[in-house]
Amino acid sequence: MATYQRTPAWMGTLIALFVFGGIAAFGYWLYYYQESTTIKEEWHRKRLLRTELRGQIPILDSEILILQKTIPTINAYIKDIENDKIPDLNNGITELANQSKIHVTNIKDRIAQIRDKRTKLFEDAIQARNDLAKEETRWHLNAASYDQTLSEERLKVQKMAYAIEKKQENFLAAELSLERDNTRLNKRVQELINRKNVNEREMLSDGRITAARADDGYVVLNIGWRDNLRPGTKFTIFNRRAGKKVRKGEIEVVRVDTRISHARILSETYKNDPVVVGDHLHNPIYDPKEIKTFVIKGHFANYSHPELIRFIKDAGGSIEKEITTGTHYLVAGENADEYLNQANNYGVIILSERKLLEFILEPTDQKRL
């Protein structure tokens, strides 16, 4: 069964940091956007004021024109007075002249004020335009910096997302490997249970007894080294009677030839029902077609690791680097104590150098070594 885990804390923290960074960047951009909007509104207000003052200029120009047309008449009138053409108005000459001068001075002052105000307005407009240009430049720089920062953050997030995806892939691969190991381990446990409870399950024939020597308690089997049989393998002996399979005893293989093997009788269920020719053999984990896997650890007295590997592969076995739930045998030499404990935990059979050679080599090859 697959094991599901909660989302790691560091992944949640990464997502929270990314969201907080996005909010901070958005607030930074909103602040400068408001500043730019304020400057633009001030510039439009001054532009409207300039337009209003420009509208007053024609009115003042018309007043000046009227005054300019009046001045020659007044000057002529003054000359007539000076030439005594209008002697009765001498008393009013001074007053009229003073009023004219005051009026002209007021007009000149008004014109000067309008010119100063227009000049100031132009200067303010130029300053506002420069400020707006600076603000737009700063806004564009900030926008470019923000875009660059956002791109860098996106790149970081993409890298983190890729790393998270790789970790998830590794996690899934590890989970799949654990599931496979769990399946193998369950299979191994089931095999061991089946071997222990052989009396309680259906027995299938793995071979037959071809010869039995009742005097010394040894029998001959019709399977040998070619059938992937090795010394030390134990079989349950049974036969069929009245449609039922009857357990008769147990044997252990002591010598293996190419096509036959010799075994000694370990026990018989009934003394009056001995093991005879034709009885069937059964071992719940024996399989003549299964490729056995070996792990070699430690130092050996007679052969090197490459030589032992060659012996195993020539015999049809396979080599693994480390012990797993699918390992069948550990070939242990000196300094292999930690692997012995691991093999015991996994239910792996342990072989010495001598036992390995007896297990994988044909009898004729064993004699030549």
First to last CA, the chain: 48
Type of residue at 333: G
Topology adopted by domain 204-282: Thrombin, subunit H (2.40.10)
Q: What is the CA radius of gyration of the chain?
A: 56
Look-up: residue for tokens 């070996």?
294
From 3.40.50, 3.30.110, 1.10.287, 1.10.3470, which CATH number describes the 9-174 domain? Answer: 1.10.287
Q: Strand pairing of 318-320 and 293-297?
A: parallel
Q: How far is it, in rounded angstroms, from Cα 192 to Cα 186?
A: 10
Among 356, 367, 256, 257, residue whose Cα is nearest residue 310: 356
DSSP state of 347: T
Greatest alpha-carbon span in the chain? 183
Q: Is 342 helix (H, G, I), strand (E, B) or coil?
A: helix
pTM given for the model: 0.38
CB-count burial class (<10 Å; 0-12, 13-18, 19+) for 73: exposed
Is there a shared CATH topology between the 9-174 domain and the 204-282 domain?
no
Quick one: DSSP state of residue 315?
T
Distance CA 231, CA 254 (A): 5
Q: So where are the chain's domains? A: 9-174, 204-282, 293-368
For the chain, where are the alpha helices, taking DSSP H only?
9-82, 90-196, 305-314, 337-346, 353-360, 363-368
Q: What is the mean pLDDT of each run of 10 residues along the chain (369 residues)?
A: 59 74 74 76 80 78 75 74 57 67 79 82 80 80 75 78 77 70 64 47 82 84 87 87 87 90 90 89 79 90 91 80 88 90 87 83 57
pLDDT at 369: 61
The domain made up of 293-368 is a member of CATH 3.40.50.720: no
Contact at 8 Å (CB) between 315 and 229? no
Other CB atoms within 10 Å distance of the CB of residue 111: 15
Residues 6+ apart with CB under 8 A from 44: none
